[in-house]
Structure 1
């Protein structure tokens, strides 16, 4: 008897695995310095403080039970208070929804805000996780390029004037991944105004905002309009393993997200959410902890940019990160970074080719470098290895 193999959903046909996740499988050798992964430094994660918070939480039997789909109530109160201070207006607890990392928030929002074929505007280069989500939702994706001040709003305005009507504009406005730039204050105001004028949502994806080096980033885009939905998490300041993210949105959006989350996983972990609430409310400890991360990452970012410029001179241009985790660099001699990668791995250094983030522009000569998980000497060594590979 012949077998009839059941089909998978048609929406899977256009999806691809994350190029970064695939690349990380190739960078596990001890002799490879990886500047590829977007990982926080595990040595800076507060293991002892997390253990103490876990011990405290486990004294209450309720912490091992299911919690509300919208999140552990005490954590939502903490996030509402922090968001109120960041945005400059009172954020109600009903406007806070806790998710399994901010990536889940993005995925649930795509289901709530997008019908198949809806237009989504993204930045180019783009955050890969956003592209995966919007492609899975069947969205039509149009890219707007970045410059040194973030998304080119003049190009967005041209698209709107030409009749394009996005349902969503997605932006990593602060310390962009992968572009390493920050959206200027005036552009933030203008983006919010355009959202209100043309009736679209802005998703402000902000996992890096607290990782500034010398001075805080401009006020969030969400400061200027209730049509801006703000996402963040504790993955970069505490630990990715906690899997605690959130969205700040109008209550009707949160309630719609709640319906979908109930169908996805019922609720998040009450244990890790209570641990997170404990850590976020210990404000003197938290401030000192984040200051330590900022200082370490800032030193490493400067070491990497210094080494790149000293080694490559005019052959390679790179961003000057003022926060976050990434540097975006571009060869000026048409070096193809996808082709170069195999030679670089053989030389003992890994990066992510810019093509992995490209939407319209091919970014063939670009690359993203993460400076968070290596010390200054190792970063300098990585640049030496990259230079050797590029001369082969």
Structure 2
């Protein structure tokens, strides 16, 4: 840039590109089996049903016009009805706000709820998109670990007892990205109780909750307190191309988000929001569609987990995939997954090293694998390739 022009904003100083997006650019060759991306399977997306909904929407000219900043009214009504069923309480339409995917909701909430220097507590390992948002907001970030029951709420309680006062606690409560675990019902109640007692907001990021395999996910954290702002999306159950996400939040928060959204993009697409409303309101069709996605992902998840355990034995510990899109695995022999990645790509398989999700713990021996876009046979081949890469790397040291 010209030395006569002012520098770019200082908020960019602490930001870095998503390691996952960078990795996808490097591993997009057809011969590489990609376990790195967090993408739903495009072959399961309902193209014909979307096309029919689009054709119906385009019969009226209003769908080509601007729409409300809070989202198209009928879509908000459909979302309010769905969320009411999930939360076990009536969700007013005034507490539903539609965004350009749930990531935009997270970014707008960071501007509404956080001043520079405010404390945000996240899980470790953390969802990369949340870290990017909170760093851009200039937040101070502390992490609490995960275990098999999700966020260690007792560790959060310890932070509070030491005098830390978070403005926001962020959780991917169900089928965690990247950790693959689900917060237990007891911890959900405990987290909500802490929010009420200490006056912080909880952002419950829940794009995967409907993708359960053998049994439904626990009731959302938002069931237990109005201090919980809930985010969800149509991306994982229908298609990311609609760019329809939403949040359920107290009306004053929705009003504040509306002010910021008007300055960012004014409103979303009336066309895709009307399509989404049509699809989400078609209960019989949607239930059958989600059942198909669940069954397909369940078979793939179990194939991946079985292949990892059968191939590596006790050299790798991995989560049981009970839903969602990811398996989190850890080498018990000290293998550094960042160092192994180049050899893995040479052997035709890619994953995301655990270090990409680290906050306080380095997770250098961990990796995240996505099972959604490959069938069982291809996933088994991916694990064979990973084993070959591991053997080659071990032989060279």
Q: What TM-score do the two structures reach when normalised by structure 2?
A: 0.98
Matches of 1:186 and 1:274 in 2, distance apart? 38
Q: Is 1:212 the equivalent of 2:212?
A: yes
Corresponding residue for 2:171?
171
Q: Where in structure 2 are the equivalents of 1:25-174 lying within 5 Å?
A: 25-174=25-174
* Cα displacement (A) at 1:326: 0.1
Corresponding residue for 2:223?
223
Matches of 2:101 and 2:88 in 1, distance apart? 24
Corresponding residue for 1:17?
17
Corresponding residue for 1:5?
5
Corresponding residue for 1:330?
330
Matches of 2:383 and 2:173 in 1, distance apart? 28
Matches of 2:28 and 2:136 in 1, distance apart? 29
Change (3 A) 1:37 1:93: same
Corresponding residue for 1:259?
259
* Cα displacement (A) at 1:321: 1.2
Corresponding residue for 2:342?
342
| Structure 1 residue runs without a partner (length 5+) | none
Corresponding residue for 1:353?
353
Matches of 1:169 and 1:3 in 2, distance apart? 41
Q: Where in structure 2 are the equivalents of 1:217-296 lying within 5 Å?
A: 217-296=217-296
Corresponding residue for 2:395?
none
Corresponding residue for 2:313?
313
Matches of 2:28 and 2:12 in 1, distance apart? 29
Structure 1 residue matching 2:255: 3-state secondary structure: helix
Structure 2 residue matching 1:343: 3-state secondary structure: helix
Structure 1 residue matching 2:26: 3-state secondary structure: coil
| Structure 2 residue runs without a partner (length 5+) | 393-397
Matches of 2:162 and 2:366 in 1, distance apart? 30
CA RMSD of aligned residues (A): 0.6
Q: What TM-score do the two structures reach when normalised by structure 1?
A: 0.99
* Cα displacement (A) at 1:194: 0.2
* Cα displacement (A) at 1:27: 1.3
Matches of 1:151 and 1:136 in 2, distance apart? 24
* Cα displacement (A) at 1:3: 5.0
